[in-house]
Structure 1
Amino acid sequence: MPIHDWTRVRANRFHDFHQRWTIAICNEINAGRLPPGYFAMVEQKTGGPEPDVVTLELTPRPGIEPGGIAVDVAPPKARIVARAEAIGFARKANRITIRHPDGEVVAVIEIVSPGNKETRHAVRSFARKAVEFLLAGVNLLIVDLFPPSRRDPQGIHKLIWDYVRDEPFSLPPDKPLTVAAYADGPETTAYVEPIAVGDVLPEMPVFLAPGRYVPCPLETSYRIAWEQFPSPLKEPLEAPREP
């Protein structure tokens, strides 16, 4: 199945697909692809403790007339109002971990969300977190279906690799998307596959130990997630582009 142009829809639609896709990847990996005792899990990323949602009851205090205002629920007025929904969805996005029989995390699969590239801080934080995994001996697979921006002009791999080794890297102009596998070992090794909208996702390695890996079924799981994606949400992605 060809990769869709996810820049054509809002972040909430990709978030829905992202969650379905991570679950499909996890299920496919657990379906006999791992050595005995190893297992994959879907886990939610968090940027910190998630507070419980508290419902505020707007009941008048004793002695306050029903017409009085205790808490203002009208939208505050300001000359400029800015909103950024993509970052919130990135915080809620799933990641996949693969664990050794003793429970130790040996690999992480991350699918980049629009919010991961929404700001310079967000994209740098994503790259630093990836390097933290590598420094801790955790192998990585990064899937980025969003084209470079001014914050990552050569894609997410270049930002990650700059923390590991300072060397030139340029994406082919006709292949602006990236899938990259990172293997821990005596030396960190990156396996980078530039791709584009319309391509079929390649089968990439997920390393479990130095020299040992299993193929990640990106294409199969993408197709499964797409089949389950609601039809009304597919329409903008399937519509032909206007000239």
Structure 2
Amino acid sequence: MPVHDWTRVDAGLFHDFHQGWTVGLRDALNRGILPLDHYALIEQKVPRKEPDVLTLKLDLEEDGAIDDRGGIAVATAPPKTRLVRQSEVSYYAGKANRITVRHRHGEVVAVVELVSPGNKSSRAEFKAFVEKSAAFITSRVNLLIIDLFPPTRRDPKGIHKAIWDEFEEENFTFPRGKPLTLASYDAGPPQVAYVENVGVGDSLPEMPIFLRPEFYVNAPLEPTYRDAWSNFPRQLKGLLEKAPRRKRK
């Protein structure tokens, strides 16, 4: 299933797809991808100040230890992303849902964010998104960012560079024809970014969701995107499937 050009439709239509994809990804994680002592929830973003960090505590009778068998070790099978960056220096957007991955007692260990057009709609919105993302990582909450929108004047080098510059500033260049960003952050210590870039028409790769330093599960982006697309209203699919009309000279 190729990635569509979501700039061709308004934010409301992407919001509908966004919500469906979020639910599908949550379901896939809970169907056996996550270890038994972890689970994923859909949560609505809270206006402005975050994170403190989405507090939820579950009073379970049995106090289970961490399932060390869960997750994939980076040392055994490193995530297959194009770019890996490690920081040694520092160990309708408002209605969009996110996925939180929690340990069995409610502690948030990871957040999955699907970028919406509204996140880049103004300097204030973009600044808030970047600062919130950096705050998650600083708070030792692992983060997966999925940005299916090309760079804007607010993020000319993409969403990853904007976030990573909060830790270490460095040059970043998109591969030719691949302006969309998938970025997974191991909150560490040390903090490590795994970045993959795709373009319209590409298939989505698996991306790691880190559960603790150097241990992750793979997020099945491609099959869940495909399922969300299959449930998208057929009357509207033509807006994204048909080739754009060329302007007459």
Q: TM-score range by the shorter chain?
A: 0.7 to 0.9
The answer as to 2:187 corresponding to 1:184 is yes
| 1:63 alignment counterpart | none
* Paired residue type of 1:123: F
- Match of 1:191, SS? strand
**Residue in structure 2 matched with residue 96 of structure 1 by the alignment:** 99
Q: Cα offset for 1:46?
A: 2.2
Please list the CA deviations of residues 17-37 of structure 1 after superposition, one character each: whole Å capped at 9, or x if unmatched.
000000000000101111112
Q: Which amino acid aligns with 2:190?
A: E
In structure 1, how many angstroms separate the alpha carbons of the residues matched to 2:202 and 2:105?
38
Separation of aligned partners in 2, 1:100 and 1:233: 39
After the TM superposition, which residues 45-84 of structure 1 pair with which residues of structure 2 at under 5 Å, given as runs?
A: 45-47=45-47
User: What is the CA–CA distance in structure 2 between the aligned matches of 1:231 and 1:30, rounded to whole Å?
Assistant: 28
The structure 1 residue matched to 2:119, chosen from 116, 122, 125, is 116
Following the alignment from structure 2 to structure 1, what is the Cα–Cα distance between the partners of residues 10 and 128? 22
In the TM superposition, what are the counterparts of 1:107-146 in structure 2 within 5 Å?
A: 107-146=110-149
Contact 1:124 1:159 (8 Å CA) reproduced: no
User: What corresponds to 2:22 in structure 1?
Assistant: 22
SS at match of 2:26: helix
Aligned to 2:38: 38
- The 2-side partners of 1:149 and 1:34 are apart by 34
Q: Does 1:170 align with 2:173?
A: yes
Alignment of 1:217 onto 2:220: yes
The match for 1:155 among 155, 158, 182 is 158
Aligned partners of 1:182, 1:125: CA distance in 2, in Å? Answer: 18
Alignment: residue pair count = 204
- 1:78-99 deviations in Å (ceiling 9; x for gaps): xxxxxxxxxxx21000000000
Q: Distance in 1 between the 2:204 and 2:127 partners?
A: 25
Q: State the secondary structure of the residue aligned to 1:32.
A: helix
TM-fit CA distance, 1:227: 0.6
Residues in 2 aligned to 1:186 and 1:26: alpha-carbon distance in whole angstroms: 26
Percent same amino acid among aligned pairs? 55
Structure 2: 5+ residue stretches without partners: 50-91
Is 1:194–2:208 an aligned residue pair? no
State the alpha-carbon separation in 2 of the partners of residues 186 and 177 from structure 1.
27
TM-score (norm 1): 0.82
Shift of 1:173: 3.5
2: CA distance between counterparts of 1:224 and 1:215?
17
1:108/1:5 CA distance change after superposition, 3 Å: same
Q: Is the contact between residue 48 and residue 128 of structure 2 (CA under 8 Å) also seen in structure 1?
A: no
| Partner SS for 2:119 | helix
Q: How much has 1:48 moved relative to structure 2?
A: 5.5
Quick one: distance in 1 between partners of 2:45 and 2:153? 25
Q: Is the 8 A contact 1:3 1:197 kept in 2?
A: yes
Tell me the distance in 2 between the aligned counterparts of 1:172 and 1:33: 30
Q: Is the radius of gyration larger for structure 1 or structure 2?
A: 1
Q: How many Å separate the matches in 2 of 1:122 and 1:233?
A: 28
Q: CA deviation at 1:241?
A: 1.9
Aligned residue in 1 for 2:207: 204
DSSP-derived class of the 2:165 partner? helix
What's 2:239 paired with?
236
Partner deviation per Cα, 1:221-243 (whole Å, 9 max, x = no partner):
10110011111121200112223
Q: Which residue number corresponds to residue 8 of structure 1?
A: 8
